C-alpha cells in the first residue's frame, strides 16, 4: 500500500508552526493506528503540538479522526435521555460515585465510562473495586440492559472506543506532553463523543491538585472541549472548579467510597455535596429536567436506592464491609491557630505512595490505603490535635508518604489570609 502522506513532512510542518490539513490529520491518525507511523514519530509530532499548539479546526479534525479510529456506541434503543459527566481529575475527587445514581434517580440514563488512577489522581474504577464482588468490565449487552433498568452504569471503556487515543495517551504519559490542551481536549472528547451520550457536563479543575493548575489554562481547556462537544451535536457545558485543596476529607479508594455513601445518605462534606448537586443540576437540565429537586433525592433515600441497585447490578454487595488498612499513622498539629494553607497535590502524592495509586498502569492498588483528613482549610486547630491519618497495608510506605507531605499545611493566626483558591465553582462555560 502506497501511503498518501509522509509523516516526516507533517512533523516538519508542526515544528515550523504550520497548519495540518484535514486530510493530513485523518491519514496521520489512521496510519498511527495501523502501525505505519512509529511511536518515535508520533512522539516528535506530539512535542511539536505541545510547543506550537493547534488551531480550533485542527483540534476538531484530530478529535473526529480519533473517533473514526474505532467504534461508536449507540443508545438509541434506550427509552431514556442520556447525560454524562467527565472530570479532569484531582485529589479526593469521588464525585462520580454519588453523582451517577443521583441523576439516575430522576429517570435519566448515565453511561459513565471511567478509568483507573495513574500518579496522584485516583481512578473511579479503583474506588469501586473496593466493594466486594463489584466488576468494572461489562459486555455491551450488559451495559445497555443496566442503563435501561437501573439508569446508571460506571464501567471500564472497551478497547474499541477511540483506540488511537489509547495509543497516543500512553505515549504522552511517557514523553512529557500530557499538559497539552489540543491533545487533552481531543483525547477526552473523542472518547466521550464515541461513547454516544446525548449530553455531557465537564468538570474542569484548576489549582494545586489539578494537572492544569493555572485557572486561565483550565478555562481554555473548558472552552475548547465545550466547542468540540457542541460541534459534534452533543449538548455540552462545563463548570470550572477549584482543586486548590483536597475535595472532601477522604483521599484513597475504600475511604472515598465510604464518604460517597455518606453523601448519598444525606450527609457528607459540604464541598462534595455542593459540587455533586451543581453537576447533577447541569446534567438534568441538559436532559430536559431543569427544575429537578436534586437535594430532596439525597434526603429521601432515592439516590441511595439508585446507588444500591447500580452496585448490585455489577455484582457488588452494597452492604459488605469495605477494606480497612492494617497500619495507620497520625500526624498532629504542632501549634494552636488556623489552617491557612492545604495544597492538594502533596496529599495526592502521599496517598499514591501509601499504595492508593499506581506509577504504571499495570500496578495493583491497595484499596485500603489513603489519607483521612480531620481538618480542612480555614478550620481552627489546637496543638496536639490530629490533622490527618494515613492508612496502608505496608508500614514501610509511611516514610516516603511523610516526605511528600512536607509543606502540605500551614497553621497561621486568626486574621491571616487563607489560601483556598477562591469559590469551589469559579465559572460556568456553555
77 is catalytic: no
227 is catalytic: no
List pLDDT tens digits, range 146-167. Answer: 999 999 999 998 878 899 988 8
Nearest alpha-carbon partner for 212 in 179, 244, 246: 179
Shared domain check, 263 and 121: yes
**Of 26, 61, 93, 165, which one is the catalytic site residue?**
165
Are the CB atoms for 251 and 365 separated by under 8 Å?
no
Shared domain check, 239 and 196: yes
**Of 172, 192, 302, 308, which one is the catalytic site residue?**
172
d(CA 34, CA 14): 22
Are the CB atoms for 340 and 410 separated by under 8 Å?
yes
**Of 186, 187, 260, 306, which one is the catalytic site residue?**
187
Backbone angles phi, psi at 405, to 5 degrees: -85, 5
Residue at a domain's end among 280, 305, 320: 320
85 is catalytic: no
**Of 14, 60, 85, 86, which one is the catalytic site residue?**
86
pLDDT of residue 1: 79
* The three three-digit cell numbers of residue 350, written as one number: 502521599
The burial of 335, by beta-carbon neighbours within 10 Å (0-12 exposed, 13-18 middle, 19 or more buried), is given as exposed
d(CA 307, CA 152): 8
pLDDT of residue 179: 86
Shared domain check, 309 and 172: yes
86 is catalytic: yes
pLDDT of residue 116: 80
Q: Report if residue 74 sits inside a domain.
A: no
Shared domain check, 193 and 306: yes
Are the CB atoms for 365 and 338 separated by under 8 Å?
no
Shared domain check, 197 and 122: yes
Domain harbouring 370, CATH code: 3.90.1170.30
Domain harbouring 16, CATH code: 1.20.970.10
pLDDT of residue 121: 76
Nearest alpha-carbon partner for 103 in 341, 280, 239: 280
Signed CA dihedral, 285, 291, 294, 297: sign only: negative
393 is catalytic: no
**Which residue segment(s) compose the domain that 57 sits in?**
7-68
**Of 191, 192, 219, 367, which one is the catalytic site residue?**
191
d(CA 121, CA 348): 6
d(CA 401, CA 252): 13
Q: Which residues of the chain have pLDDT under 70?
A: 118-119
Residue at a domain's end among 291, 320, 349: 320
Shared domain check, 229 and 135: yes
Q: Report if residue 152 sits inside a domain.
A: yes
pLDDT of residue 98: 98
pLDDT of residue 345: 96
* Strand, helix or coil for residue 398: helix
d(CA 364, CA 357): 8
* Strand, helix or coil for residue 288: coil
Domain harbouring 181, CATH code: 3.40.1030.10
Shared domain check, 295 and 271: yes
Q: Report if residue 429 sits inside a domain.
A: no
pLDDT of residue 173: 77
Amino acid at each position: 500500500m502506497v501511503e498518501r502522506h509522509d509523516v516526516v513532512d507533517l512533523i516538519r510542518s508542526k515544528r515550523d508552526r504550520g497548519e495540518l490539513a484535514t486530510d493530513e490529520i485523518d491519514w496521520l491518525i489512521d496510519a498511527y493506528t495501523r502501525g505505519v507511523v512509529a511511536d518515535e514519530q508520533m512522539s516528535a509530532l506530539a512535542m511539536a503540538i505541545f510547543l506550537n499548539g493547534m488551531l480550533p479546526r485542527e483540534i476538531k479534525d484530530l478529535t473526529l479522526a480519533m473517533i473514526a479510529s474505532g467504534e461508536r456506541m449507540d443508545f438509541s434503543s434506550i427509552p431514556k435521555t442520556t447525560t454524562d459527566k467527565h472530570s479532569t481529575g484531582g485529589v479526593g475527587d469521588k464525585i462520580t460515585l454519588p453523582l451517577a445514581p443521583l441523576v439516575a434517580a430522576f429517570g435519566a440514563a448515565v453511561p459513565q465510562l471511567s478509568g483507573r488512577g495513574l500518579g496522584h489522581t485516583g481512578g473511579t474504577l479503583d474506588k469501586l473495586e473496593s466493594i466486594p464482588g463489584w466488576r468494572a468490565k461489562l459486555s455491551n449487552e450488559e451495559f445497555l440492559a443496566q442503563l435501561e433498568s437501573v439508569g446508571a452504569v460506571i464501567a471500564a471503556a472497551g478497547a474499541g472506543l477511540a483506540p488511537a487515543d489509547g495509543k497516543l495517551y500512553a505515549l504522552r504519559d511517557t514523553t512529557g506532553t500530557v499538559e497539552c490542551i489540543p491533545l487533552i481536549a481531543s483525547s477526552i472528547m473523542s472518547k466521550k463523543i464515541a461513547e454516544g451520550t446525548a449530553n455531557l457536563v465537564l468538570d474542569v479543575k484548576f489549582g494545586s491538585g489539578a494537572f492544569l493548575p493555572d485557572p486561565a489554562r483550565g478555562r481554555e481547556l473548558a472552552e475548547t472541549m465545550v466547542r468540540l462537544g457542541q460541534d459534534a451535536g452533543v449538548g455540552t457545558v462545563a463548570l470550572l472548579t477549584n482543586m486548590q485543596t483536597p475535595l472532601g476529607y477522604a483521599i484513597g479508594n475504600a475511604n472515598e467510597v465510604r464518604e460517597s455513601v455518606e453523601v448519598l445518605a444525606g450527609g457528607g462534606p459540604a464541598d462534595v455535596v455542593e459540587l455533586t448537586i451543581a453537576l447533577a443540576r447541569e446534567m438534568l437540565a441538559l436532559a430536559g429536567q431543569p427544575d429537578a429537586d436534586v437535594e430532596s433525592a439525597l434526603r429521601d433515600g432515592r439516590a441511595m436506592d439508585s446507588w444500591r441497585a447500580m452496585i448490585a447490578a455489577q455484582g457488588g454487595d452494597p452492604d459488605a464491609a469495605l477494606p480497612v488498612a492494617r497500619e495507620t499513622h497520625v500526624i498532629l498539629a504542632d501549634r494552636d491557630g488556623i489552617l491557612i494553607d492545604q495544597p492538594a497535590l502533596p496529599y495526592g502524592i502521599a496517598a499514591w505512595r501509601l499504595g492508593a495509586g499506581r506509577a504504571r498502569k499495570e500496578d495493583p492498588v491497595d484499596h485500603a490505603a489513603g489519607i483521612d483528613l480531620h481538618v480542612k482549610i480555614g478550620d481552627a486547630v489546637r496543638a496536639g490535635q490530629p490533622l490527618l491519618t494515613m492508612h496502608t497495608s505496608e508500614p514501610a510506605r509511611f516514610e516516603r508518604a511523610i516526605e511528600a507531605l512536607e509543606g502540605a499545611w500551614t497553621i497561621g493566626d486568626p486574621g491571616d489570609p487563607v489560601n483556598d483558591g477562591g469559590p469551589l465553582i469559579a465559572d460556568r462555560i456553555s
